[in-house]
Amino acid sequence: MKILNNININNSLNIKSNAKYYVELRTKKDFNQFQEFISNNKLPILVVGEGTNLVLPNFYEGIVVKPIFNSINYDKNLDIVSVGSSVNWSDFVTEMVDKNIYGYENLSSIPGSVGASPIQNIGAYGQEVSRLINSIDCYDYKKGKFIKLHKDECDFTYRNSIFKNNTLIIYNINFITNCKNILNLEYESIKKYISTHNTNINNIKLKDASVMITNIRNSILPNHLKIPNVGSFFKNSIVKIDDIDTTKHSLNELITWKIDSQFVKVGSARLIDLIKDDLNKYENVNIYKNHSLVLITNSKASQEEVLNFADNIKQKVYEVFKISMDIEPTIITN
Ligand SMILES: Cc1cc2nc3c(=O)[nH]c(=O)nc-3n(C[C@H](O)[C@H](O)[C@H](O)COP(=O)(O)OP(=O)(O)OC[C@H]3O[C@@H](n4cnc5c(N)ncnc54)[C@H](O)[C@@H]3O)c2cc1C
C-alpha cells in the first residue's frame, strides 16, 4: 500500500486541492494495511475515482483513498462481467458495445470510473446503471470487512444509492451481459438527432446508437479535459404542479415530465435559462453556453466561489419559481 503526503487531488473542476494523506489500494491485502493506518490516524476518509463529480476544498484535512483495480473478467455461464473499480466507465461501455452486449450504449461517454458509477446511479438518455448491475464488492472500513451487496440492497433511486455518505469502498462491480437486444431510442434528443440526420430507425445498430449518443453529448456538453466542469451541477426537482410559481413564466415555458396527477419532474436547465440574466457575475466560474445545467471554471476557481455561484442560481430559481434545486456533485467539506 502506497501512502503519500500533501498530494494534489485530480478533479475535473480543476480546483487546486491537496490532501493530507493519499493512499492507493491495489490488492485485497492492502485493505488490511489500510485498516491499520486509519485506526492509527483518526481522520475523515474520502474515496476517489477520477474526480469528475467532486467539488473539493483547497485542503482536505483527511485521507484520500484511491482503489486501483483494473481487471475485467467474463463469466459466460452466469452472463456476468466483473469489472475493477478503476476501469474507465466510457472504455468499459466501448468494450460492451464492441462485444455486441446491449444495455450500456445509452451511457456511452459518461466520464469517470466504473467504481463511482453506482454512487449516484449514473444515468443518461433513459438508462441508469442500476439496471445493469448484479452485485457490488466492497470493503467497509467502519466494520473492517469485505461485503457483497446484491443490487436490491443498494437502494438505487434517481441519482442516489446506499453508497452516498457511506463507509464502503467499491473495488469490483458485477454487471449483467444478457440484456435484451433492443435499443432504447425513445429519448427526445435521440429522436431529434435521428430525424435531423435522416437516419432510417430500422437500420440503427448497437454501435450506431453508441456513436449517436456520443455525438449528442459532444454537441451540448463541454469536454472536461478542456473546459473544467462536473457535468450537470443540479438535479431535476420533483415538485407539486400547484406549488410552482407561474407569475413570471407560464408552465408551458418549463420542461416537465409527468410523475402522477399532482407531481412533475422539472428540467433545471430550462429554469436556469430563464433566470440567468439576473445572476451576479463571478470571476472564475460561469454557466456553459450550450447547457445551462453545467457550471464551468477557468481553472482558478475555489470551492467557495463555485458554491457561491451555485447558491446564487438556486436562490434566483427559488425566488422566481418557488422550486428548490439540489446540487448533483459531491461537495467535500473538512
Ligand atoms: C462532462 C461531464 C458529463 C457528465 N455526464 C453525466 C451523465 O450524463 N450522467 C451522470 O450520471 N453523471 C454524469 N457526470 C458525472 C460523473 O461522470 C459521474 O458522477 C461519475 O460516476 C463520476 O466518476 P468519478 O470516478 O470521476 O468519481 P469521483 O468524482 O472521483 O467521485 C464521485 C463520488 O463517488 C465516490 N466514489 C468514487 N469512487 C468510489 C469507489 N470506488 N468506492 C466508493 N465510493 C467512490 C466519491 O467519494 C464521490 O462521492 C458527468 C461529468 C462530467 C464532467
Residue 50 Cβ inside 6 Å of ligand 1? The answer reads: yes
Cross-strand pairs, 173: 83, 136
**pTM of the model as a whole:** 0.95
**Whole-number pLDDT of residue 68:** 97
Name the pLDDT band for 232 (thresholds 50, 70, 90): very high
Residue 117 Cβ inside 6 Å of ligand 1? The answer reads: yes
- Reported as a single tens digit per residue, the pLDDT across 180-191 is 999 999 998 999
- Reported as a single tens digit per residue, the pLDDT across 118-174 is 999 999 999 999 999 999 999 999 999 999 999 999 999 999 999 999 999 999 999
Conformational region of residue 299, where left means phi above 0, alpha means psi within -120 to 50, and beta covers everything else: left
Q: Spell out the domain ranges in the chain.
A: 2-67, 71-220, 229-331
Residue 42 in grid coordinates = 483518526
121, HSE (Cβ side, Cα atoms, 13 Å): 17
Residue 330 Cβ inside 6 Å of ligand 1? The answer reads: yes
Residue 128 Cβ inside 6 Å of ligand 1? The answer reads: no
Task: Decide if pLDDT at 289 tops 90.
Answer: yes
- Reported as a single tens digit per residue, the pLDDT across 74-122 is 999 999 999 999 999 999 999 999 999 999 999 999 999 999 999 999 9
Which residue stretches of the chain are H helix?
28-40, 89-98, 188-196, 206-220, 268-275, 303-321
Q: What is the mean pLDDT of the chain?
A: 96
Q: Closest residue (by CA) to atom 43 of ligand 1?
A: 169
Question: In a mutational test of the pocket of ligand 1, which residue from 17, 31, 53 has the highest number of ligand atoms less than 8 Å from its CB?
Answer: 53
**Whole-number pLDDT of residue 2:** 84
Q: Ligand 1, residue 159: give the atom nearest the CA.
A: 11
Ligand 1 center–CA 85 separation, angstroms? 12
What lies within 8 Å, CB to CB, of 283 at 6+ separation is: 300, 305
Entry field: residues in the chain: 334
Q: Nearest Cα to 113, choosing from 134, 142, 92, 135?
A: 92
Whether 190 contacts 212, CB under 8 Å = yes
CATH of 71-220, one of 3.30.465.10, 3.30.1240.10, 3.40.50.850, 3.40.50.1390: 3.30.465.10
Residue 87 Cβ inside 6 Å of ligand 1? The answer reads: no
SS3 284: coil
Residue 84 Cβ inside 6 Å of ligand 1? The answer reads: no
Report CA-CA distances (Å) from 109 to 93, 94, 206, 246, 265. 8, 9, 15, 37, 25
d(CA 104, CA 83): 14
Name the pLDDT band for 57 (thresholds 50, 70, 90): very high
Q: How is residue 202 annotated by DSSP? A: G
Please state which CATH class domain 229-331 belongs to. Answer: alpha beta
Name the pLDDT band for 334 (thresholds 50, 70, 90): confident
Ligand 1 center–CA 115 separation, angstroms? 9
**Whole-number pLDDT of residue 323:** 98
Which residue type occupies 3?
I
Q: Closest residue (by CA) to atom 34 of ligand 1?
A: 116
42, HSE (Cβ side, Cα atoms, 13 Å): 0
**Whole-number pLDDT of residue 322:** 98
pLDDT average, residue stretch 270-287: 97
Pairing of strands 18-25, 54-55: unpaired
What lies within 8 Å, CB to CB, of 71 at 6+ separation is: 82, 83, 84
Q: Nearest Cα to 59, choosing from 3, 24, 16, 14?
A: 16
**Beta-carbon neighbour count of residue 86 at 10 Å?**
21
Contacts 24+ apart (CB under 8 A), 214-217: 214/108, 214/109, 216/125, 216/189, 216/190, 217/108, 217/109, 217/124
**Whole-number pLDDT of residue 155:** 97
Which residue do the cell numbers 487531488 mark? 9
Ligand 1 center–CA 119 separation, angstroms? 7
Q: Ligand 1, residue 113: give the atom nearest the CA.
A: 25
Q: How is residue 64 annotated by DSSP? A: E
Ligand 1 center–CA 1 separation, angstroms? 24
Q: What are phi and psi of 305, to 5 degrees?
A: -65, -40
Ligand 1 center–CA 163 separation, angstroms? 12
Residue 275 in grid coordinates = 433566470
Residue 228 Cβ inside 6 Å of ligand 1? The answer reads: no
Residue 46 Cβ inside 6 Å of ligand 1? The answer reads: yes
Architecture of domain 2-67: 2-Layer Sandwich (3.30)
Q: How is residue 116 annotated by DSSP? A: T
